[in-house]
Structure 1
Amino acid sequence: MMTEEKYLSVSILTTYLKRKFDLDPYLKKVYLTGEISNFRMRPNTHQYFSIKDNQSKINVVMFKSAFQKLKFTPEEGMKVLIEGHVSIYPPTGSYQFYIDSMQPDGIGALYAAYEQLKSKLISEGIFSADKKEIPKFPDKLAVITSPSGSVIQDIITTVKRRYPKCQIVLFPAIVQGEKAKDSLIRAIQQIKQTHLEFDTVIVGRGGGSIEDLWPFNEEQVVRQLFELDIPIISSVGHETDTTLSDLVADVRAATPTAAAEIATPNLPDVINYLTQARSRVYQSISKELAYRKQSLVNLTDNPFLKNPGRIYEQQLQLVDQLSNRLHQTVNQIVKKKSYQFEIIGQQIDGKLLSQRISHYQMLVDNQERQLTYYFRQLLNQQLARVQYAMNQLDALSPLNTMNRGYTYTEDSQGQLIKTVAELSANQQLIVHYQDGSAIVDVREIKKENKDD
């Protein structure tokens, strides 16, 4: 009996420790700084998440009344300053921090790295590139995920239910931790190198903190996905999580099940659609055949088609009537014009016509004389202008100047000599006259002073 009294129950120990926490003056008002982790917004209720630094992490609780006083929206990776107290939660026996107030204190390291890499890739146009269309009836799906997680099971179950003819090929990869980045890259490269032709690639994993999902934010992983020429569906984390792999993918799905639904058609729906389409085509063809059949009956019963000669009997009669009318009209016109010509011929007097011809001949002769006179006058004026221009040119001609006894001199190279400054003793020159030239030697050079 005494031995049993030495042992405490779990509840008694937890209550004792909780009382110690609650009475400790150092734990009643604690100021804490760290990064928000595992944050999931819960509308209109209490918020449960974690605060961490490089070495430790603590669970925190922020009741609805305190959370409603915040003037900002907490985000994953955000560095914050919080005030509150520490206590123990008896049902689990774990200690946790109860937040009374919270304010931002910069941005956490992972979140900052995420935003920086995101801005870099946006500037390169990776996220804005044209998205590839997901095939409607795939034959093969490639899945990159953990082989032991629930993601691959959800995808297999959904594909078998919706479109069982589609083949699923798993490319196993580590989706969390330090080795995850290289594992994901190897899986993507295996898809590129395989001889199989995949219609769509699904990349997925379950939810988690920003640290858990970080391999899908690695730059090398994002670039490998971008270079893949197969349509990609990303299903990483929960719907509120957005990784850079989600942004580079062609389609983002909220869950692995949703990814499988996007990648495959629902076979019962397809069969139902084809059945309805076949029925519509059958009805359309039946209506068309019935219409054509009735048209054929109508044509067969047409009296004109039964006796085609009746179609053009009336037309032949009309042609005869029009031909007769045309001949009558032509004869009337010919008679009328002949009568008019006869009247005009009677009105024309031969003598009067001869006088008119003589008159117009005189006018023509007169005009011809005037034109000849004016042409000669114009020609004389132009000749006078030409002679004047020739006199002007002759006055300016160098040959005319040489006719008056002038000459010009060149050196042996053919350069014109303008002044005695260009001469030298014993230099050979060529002197040009009006009727020839002479070669001379310079014996003496005399300069004249113009000032004298």
Structure 2
Amino acid sequence: MVKPTDYLTVTALTQYLKAKFERDPYLDRVYLTGEISNFRLRPNAHQYFSLKDNKAKISAIMFKSAFEKVKFTPEEGMKVLIVGRISLYEASGNYQIYVERMEPDGLGALYQAYEQLKAKLATEGLFDAPKQPLVRFPKRIAVITSPSGAVIRDIITTTQRRYPIAELVLFPAVVQGDGAADVLVERLKQVNEHGDFDTIIIGRGGGSIEDLWPFNEERVARAIVASQIPVISSVGHETDTTIADLVADVRAATPTAAAELATPVLTDEILKLQQQRLRLYQAFSKTVALNKKQLDHLQNSYVLKQPKRLYDGYLQNVDQLQRRLLTAQQQLLKDRRQQVQLLQQRLSAQSPLMAVRQAQKDVTEQQRRLNQAMNRLMADRRQKAAQVIAALDLVSPLKILGRGFAYVTDDQQQMLKKVADFKAQQPIELHVQDGLVTAEVVATHKGEE
């Protein structure tokens, strides 16, 4: 018969089972594969999740110190390879695996971390951000690399061959190992704090993904993007591509290529300057010759040699205005005569004697007013004409008559200009400088007859 003292407490049983787990050598080092489940990332803390397959599931815990060494970010449903130990958690009575190391199943942890960071930075747009152009003629170039590697020697050799006037300043850095990323970030900050560099070359020689890993760190990538100085990344060989290469302003396949991208060929630039100087001299000579030709043309212009020609047009305008004035006066007199005739006709049509007398008085008055108006108008026009003639006396077209020219009118004072205006036996008047010459047309000849 079982006594009450033979019954175990839950704590005692749990402690016994935990001791069994702890003493079992096969459970002290377990290599397990499975799918992550119930994972929720807890920054800077212990991580709790489950590992399962199609038929079973086990709880897992990974302490902070171990999780900090994981190069990738675990995700729900990811297949992983886990190394750890199996033990019992007394508070819940559940057995669980304490994870010491974890890596993706079928894909290297570093490569997985590389792809995750690459996707993250691409989503943020760091790869597509505007790139800073390289300074064409750099004065000072900062080189962040190992002082003992072949990288710095290749850069020095190439720069001295291509552009020896550039100053190279080495910022020695650890380019491999756990602390390399922090050193690279610190060197980038130092170069930017100096502020007097034109270009930064950062890089190292080739190697495995583990060797190149500092250039895949997120903090290094963000330091390159934050740099105010253009950055050339030269990490590994041509087939190696790191996160630093993707975020840098320019990526070079080799250190030699980085130096070639950062510097021009001095001899080529001197030759270009000489060619530019020659083209500038030729262009200046052509400009001087063209300006001289224009100056000669202006000096030989008729305006400068014969300035009186400038007044020819004004003299002709005065002549035309005078003719228009005479024509207007004649037309006015003609209109007034027609008005008088019209009034006379209307007067004669009135039969009553008083109307006739009154009309005669009106006609007389109208004639008087007309004469007064005509006299005033003629006086005003004569005065204006005299003023115009006096003002334009020096350039008066009448002086043309003094040079032997004349104009011809008929007995109606109409100017005759063409051969068709003249008729045989027609009396004409020649207007010369000091009077009129009465003549008669004997014959006419047109053109070159």
TM-score (norm. length: structure 1):
0.50
TM-score, normalization by structure 2: 0.50
